[in-house]
Structure 1
Amino acid sequence: MLNVKQGDAFLFETNKRESILIDTGGKLMQSGIKENHNIAKYHIIPTLKKHRLKTINYIIITHPHIDHMGELSYLITKYKINNIIINTRSFEKNKLKLLIKQCERNHVKLIDFKNIQRFKLGKANISLLDSTINHSEDLNEQSIITYIEYNKIKMLFTGDATINNEQLLLRKYKLPKINILKVGHHGSKTSTSDELLQKIRPTICLVSVGKKNHYHLPNQEIIAKLKRLGAQVFQSSEYGEVTIKLKSKLTINTEINQ
């Protein structure tokens, strides 16, 4: 989990330095980020270089809100990216046209998630789960949900998917117990239903959120609910960047020690 303040950016890396970046973060009003502070330049790219990742194999944009894709344009022009996966239905026409042109100029393949619902990256199996609410005007309800299985470790990244999405997800898919959960919508009460938690029983929960944010997130009822399940909860506002080594025994390192 990268520390991008009030936004999302999660990096998955195999032992062969194959990588997936789920969302890019971005500047929101009341995010605690200075107007001239470039998240990609000062946070994402240094992290990629620290991990010696010369190429990002895939960027998955869960949905087109600025706190999830605000740094995408900069990354496309400044870093080698092979593929970008989006839910094209969630994009406005003009925004989609601009993205298509930028990808073409920079030799990046743009893929609709419905056309690549399962793929492998080295020894990792990735599934893009479709729980979109097609009639909804709420972009959160168009979020791509990413399930990754690697070294027998199961991870679920839910973007800003709402309880409505979670209900559809539970109806459509047989979800296993999850080792690592990216908590939906920065720990908002609009996500993380009891039904989902009882099914997946996560052991480690990651909450990407800015300090003293305008939205008063994460909701403390959600945090308490996760802890009652026995999950370890890591908020980027408290721990900064969180790195988990995906071996038989999970090792967790945090930027800020508590």
Structure 2
Amino acid sequence: MPTRVRIIHFDVSQGESSLISLLPAMGDAKHVLIDGGKLSRGRYVRLMLDKLGVTKLDAIVCTHPDGDHHEGLTPVVEELAEVTKLYAPRDVSDFHKYTKLKKACEDAGTTWVDARVNTKLIDSAGCLLKIVHVGRGTVSDDNPASIGCTLKFHDFTYFTAGDLPLEDEEGLGLGHMCAFKCGHHGAETSTSRDFVDAITPTAAFISAGHHNHDHPRQSVLDILCATDSLQRFYTTNCEPNRTGFVNRGTGAQRKGFAASARLQGVMGHLVVYTDDTLAKHHDGAGITFRVAHPQDAGLGGGFQWKWYAHMCLKNDHVPESALPPVNAPLTANELPEFRLEALSTTIQTQQLTTPTYSFADLLAASQVDTFKRPSSPIREYMGDPDNFLKDSSAKKRKGSGASSGSQPKKKARVYVHQDDVQRMSRCVWCGDDSMGSKAPYLSKCECNLDWYVCRDCKHERKETVDCDLLSVAV
């Protein structure tokens, strides 16, 4: 059995969470978790760690305080058997967002560490994972504080850096990276053409989901498609209508794969694999690493992992696909679950009691009141797209939330947000309406809307506004 390196980009909808593992031929495995997605997705990441047999994390990296990166780390720290250290940037403007996470670390005996450049997270068996960037946040933006990490395993190299802006990416002077995760979910604020040209990657990964910002941006996908060295790019999800994907539209520069298949109930996890033999094939003569994502095996055949080969420094030939060798590089229990049914007792019950079960049936059943509770398994472990339990139409957000047609009204809790004037005129926590002449303190809800917070409530260090707090009875 060779010494292996595995990188899993978990599908956490809009957010990021990645598990980097060194799986040595002899000795203990090393695991580092980078970010955890939103709070509900963190519970799902915790479940995946359990299914993967990961009971100890040698380190957690919290890249920066954005909710879709740090919130999900709290249930991981609270419930996992052992988390040695948690690294986070010190100089951020929204440090109060860390309150719950710091409390979880104190209770669990996890050491909170102010991240520093050149800190080694894994240094064993020829594998070096280290921090290469820790920045400073600004009054309005903590993305520049994002922790950046590089992984080197023999000749295989990889880069990831949260929501780090393109100016900081370009300033790192990284040199060649075999693979990298695009910053900021594929937003145009990261992954510039100059940066991609400088690192000459053969694979890129984007973690994104349903969100008002419509990640990834087409301009970023155009850059990836036009990069000669890049053989494939992979997204955990891609809701917007974007070009450049192999199964969408036409064109000579189609290199993208959107891994998730929501209506079929498939999570879009992305897995990178290499070992101490493959990682030395850096001259274009052989496969350097492989990438796996869920793939439809055909009508009635269910879903399976589809593997693609990547070879560095050889741009004139890309194999369409590469199945795992006879001795699979990763066994079934070393790959994350990608069927949604396996993640929720609610879905399992639905499957057992409905002979003609389909995911469409589940979506129809989501109108039942029990699915609207924040603690419902479908919301905590699946919950995708991000707001499918909420009405995203402008009409219902501003109206009464009543359903169309002649159906009688039901007594149910639905998500109805106030209009802009109401949101910015009264404190969301205490109702105070004496805003005054100074700029208000703002808090965001799960739908990324700004809410006015008075000076008194500001000092209570509230987290992001829970949309359930804003729901009303109709």
Secondary structure at the aligned position of 2:135 is classed as coil
Matching of residue 12 in structure 1 with residue 20 in structure 2: yes
1:74 alignment counterpart: 75
**CA displacement 1:2-38 (0-9 Å, x = unmatched):** 00000000111111421111110115xxxxxxxxxx3
The 2-side partners of 1:143 and 1:45 are apart by: 23
Matching of residue 89 in structure 1 with residue 91 in structure 2: yes
Identity score, percent: 21
TM value normalised by structure 1:
0.85
1:207 alignment counterpart: 206
Deviation at 1:95, TM superposition (A): 4.0
User: Counting helix residues as a fraction of each chain, which structure ranks higher?
Assistant: 1
Map 1:1-258 onto structure 2 (within 5 A).
Answer: 1-16=9-24, 17-26=29-38, 38-42=40-44, 44-79=45-80, 80-90=82-92, 92-96=94-98, 98-114=100-116, 117-123=119-125, 124-130=127-133, 132-133=135-136, 137-170=140-173, 175-211=174-210, 213-230=211-228, 231=230, 232-237=232-237, 238-239=258-259, 240-247=268-275, 248=278, 249=287, 250-257=289-296
Using a 3 Å threshold, how does the CA distance of structure 1 residues 98 and 236 change in structure 2: closer, same or farther?
closer
Using a 3 Å threshold, how does the CA distance of structure 1 residues 66 and 135 change in structure 2: closer, same or farther?
closer
Secondary structure at the aligned position of 1:21 is classed as strand
Secondary structure at the aligned position of 1:114 is classed as coil
The 1-side partners of 2:72 and 2:137 are apart by: 26
The 1-side partners of 2:105 and 2:120 are apart by: 22
Using a 3 Å threshold, how does the CA distance of structure 1 residues 236 and 115 change in structure 2: closer, same or farther?
closer
Q: Identify unmatched segments of 5+ residues in structure 1.
A: 28-37
Deviation at 1:218, TM superposition (A): 0.5
Say whether the 8 Å CA contact 1:18–1:121 is kept in structure 2. no
Deviation at 1:252, TM superposition (A): 1.6
Using a 3 Å threshold, how does the CA distance of structure 1 residues 111 and 50 change in structure 2: closer, same or farther?
same
TM value normalised by structure 2:
0.48
The 2-side partners of 1:151 and 1:214 are apart by: 40
Using a 3 Å threshold, how does the CA distance of structure 1 residues 70 and 134 change in structure 2: closer, same or farther?
closer
**CA displacement 1:182-229 (0-9 Å, x = unmatched):** 001111111111221111011110000004x31111011211211221
Q: Please tell me the residue identity of whatever aligns with 1:246.
A: T
Say whether the 8 Å CA contact 1:24–1:72 is kept in structure 2. yes
Deviation at 1:256, TM superposition (A): 4.0
Secondary structure at the aligned position of 1:255 is classed as strand
Structure showing greater radius of gyration is 2
The 2-side partners of 1:148 and 1:115 are apart by: 14
Secondary structure at the aligned position of 2:46 is classed as helix
Deviation at 1:98, TM superposition (A): 4.8
Runs of 4+ in 1 over 3 A off after TM superposition: 91-101, 118-121, 133-137
Secondary structure at the aligned position of 2:292 is classed as strand
The count of corresponding residues between Structure 1 and Structure 2 is: 242
Q: Identify unmatched segments of 5+ residues in structure 2.
A: 1-8, 238-257, 260-267, 279-286, 297-305, 307-474
Deviation at 1:121, TM superposition (A): 3.7
Deviation at 1:133, TM superposition (A): 4.6
